[in-house]
Structure 1
């Protein structure tokens, strides 16, 4: 029964996070991108902090390392990731954005090896990272004579979002402050929202609250803040404890399927052959980079299932 529950929650999380890209595209019709992302985390941060207060006694950061972890999370995991993503997604489809973001686990391993030179990637691992980057290149289809084309720049910005998230994840783990993940996420969300409000003001984005009240804009904001962020992260925390980091990373490769379906149904967005081929390269890259962890994980699962009484 536990396996079915985990599978159901895994699919629910993939559906929520996959459809979030569609909600972003819908909301961008009415709100400027960085301000939209900031408003999302104004709400999500307050909800997550309330949860942290209830779920843990350690709901506020203490000491230099914990505040440094929050600062890295706010700048890279929340502000940089979402600012790049929302700006880039103005000129690309939700499915393309979801697929490019799925490169994050591959980039995470690459950054980890760069920051720890003694722990270099094997030849197979390097091939995996290369395949992931080839996948992004296939999706973006860069024109050497026009590298400033709108489509290429948009895809590159989404790639920057994936890279920011990967680097932020590595740095927060390296600091290893011991702070509960709920607390780190809550304060990072609030700090990231504050950073994005500052960036939005610096960019001169228009502030027009009347546009936020359009039913589609309001619906997108509510969905992203409450469902995709607050509920989504609660599911993530639960599954991370039950499944471990390797299996939960698989969400990145199931979510784009939901993005493509919901994007087609709600926005009428299609998905072309190069995007599918690029996605295949990214998945293959992930499989090569994480091959040992995947093999060990499924070997352990196999042993667990073979025990009598399960």
Structure 2
């Protein structure tokens, strides 16, 4: 159990550090190139693990349209959106906004799946989450605002994309009972193929001009932040369950903000308050969803 909770903390640290690696890389190469390299180096450990465990077989080819949908939208487009957002924002702010994924996942499941009923706790969680986002975006500051609204737009777009992908997985992929490792390996492999077709590789070698940026992208963002993070997450799913495993998202915004502060980014009361609101939002949404499920199960059947 100690190893399991160690993996839980490690996952939160890995996710939280992703934003500074993206920030370093955006100074040298394009967002498309960053996503391509991230997916390539993230795919390698996943493909190796899938091969060792025999998770991939030919019978899964009949689900190729679903794999392609997840690869193009939930991987390539999602990663592109958060890199674009991180390029325009301080890495810590990007990390805090990245923590809103749980908010949009909950909203998407409520709107499209209708398997849960909105209760007061969940409604309060949604309100707190949006309050935290507004506090980060600071629209009242107008032209003097140091927070680029397009950066906020791209980060929230990524959160919405991932929230909607959760609905897609629940509707179309969960009933197939595929091994999670197989699903994510197909998803990453096909995303890599798509990105190779559409990415302009001109100047991609500039990433080697900065050793920190190159190592951060290849090892930090690719091997650890993508491939290893997926493997850790699915291990935690098996050991702790979905709700507990998703709790690593509590660590992510705090780690991202702390790393940004260490790297000289301004972290003030507004940023700290926004983190508290967003984390409170995630907690209330999870508690509210558990309560909704309990109420549904305990309601009398007619």
1:117 Cα deviation from its structure 2 partner: 4.2
Report what 1:139 is aligned to: 136
Report what 1:7 is aligned to: 5
Report what 2:32 is aligned to: 34
Q: 1:104 aligns with which of 87, 101, 104?
A: 101
Report what 1:287 is aligned to: 283
What does 1:82-101 align with in structure 2 at a 5 Å threshold? 82-101=79-98
The 1:60/1:274 distance shift into structure 2, 3 A limit, reads farther
The answer on 1:182 being equivalent to 2:196 is no
Unmatched segments (≥5 aa) in structure 2: 293-302
Q: 1:273 aligns with which of 246, 269, 274?
A: 269
Report what 2:202 is aligned to: 207
1:256 Cα deviation from its structure 2 partner: 2.1
What does 1:149-298 align with in structure 2 at a 5 Å threshold? 151-175=148-172, 176=174, 177-201=176-200, 207-214=202-209, 215-223=211-219, 224-265=221-262, 267-292=263-288
Report what 1:307 is aligned to: none
The 1:68/1:134 distance shift into structure 2, 3 A limit, reads farther
Unmatched segments (≥5 aa) in structure 1: 297-310
Find the residue that maps to 2:148 and give its secondary structure.
Answer: helix
The 1:221/1:263 distance shift into structure 2, 3 A limit, reads same
Distance in 2 (CA, whole Å) between partners of 1:76 and 1:61 is 23
CA RMSD of aligned residues (A): 2.6
Distance in 2 (CA, whole Å) between partners of 1:46 and 1:59 is 18
1:15 Cα deviation from its structure 2 partner: 1.2
Distance in 2 (CA, whole Å) between partners of 1:119 and 1:295 is 10
The 1:145/1:209 distance shift into structure 2, 3 A limit, reads closer
Distance in 1 (CA, whole Å) between partners of 2:80 and 2:38 is 12
> Could you list the runs of 4 or more consecutive aligned residues of structure 1 that deviate by over 6 angstroms after TM superposition?
none
Q: 1:55 aligns with which of 53, 56, 65?
A: 53
Q: Taking structure 1 as the reference length, what is the TM-score of the superposition?
A: 0.84
Distance in 1 (CA, whole Å) between partners of 2:195 and 2:160 is 18
The 1:73/1:171 distance shift into structure 2, 3 A limit, reads same
1:209 Cα deviation from its structure 2 partner: 3.7
Distance in 1 (CA, whole Å) between partners of 2:142 and 2:198 is 31
1:130 Cα deviation from its structure 2 partner: 2.2
1:150 Cα deviation from its structure 2 partner: 6.5
Kept in 2: contact 1:61–1:67 (CA 8 A): no
- State the Cα deviation string for residues 151-193 of structure 1 (Å, max 9, x = none): 1110121111111111112211211222211111112112223
Distance in 2 (CA, whole Å) between partners of 1:17 and 1:60 is 32
1:134 Cα deviation from its structure 2 partner: 1.7
Distance in 2 (CA, whole Å) between partners of 1:125 and 1:37 is 34
Report what 1:300 is aligned to: none
Distance in 1 (CA, whole Å) between partners of 2:100 and 2:11 is 18
- State the Cα deviation string for residues 191-242 of structure 1 (Å, max 9, x = none): 22333445544xxxx6214302221332122221111112222211111111
The 1:123/1:295 distance shift into structure 2, 3 A limit, reads closer
1:143 Cα deviation from its structure 2 partner: 4.5
The answer on 1:69 being equivalent to 2:66 is yes
The 1:227/1:240 distance shift into structure 2, 3 A limit, reads same
Report what 2:297 is aligned to: none
Distance in 2 (CA, whole Å) between partners of 1:260 and 1:282 is 13
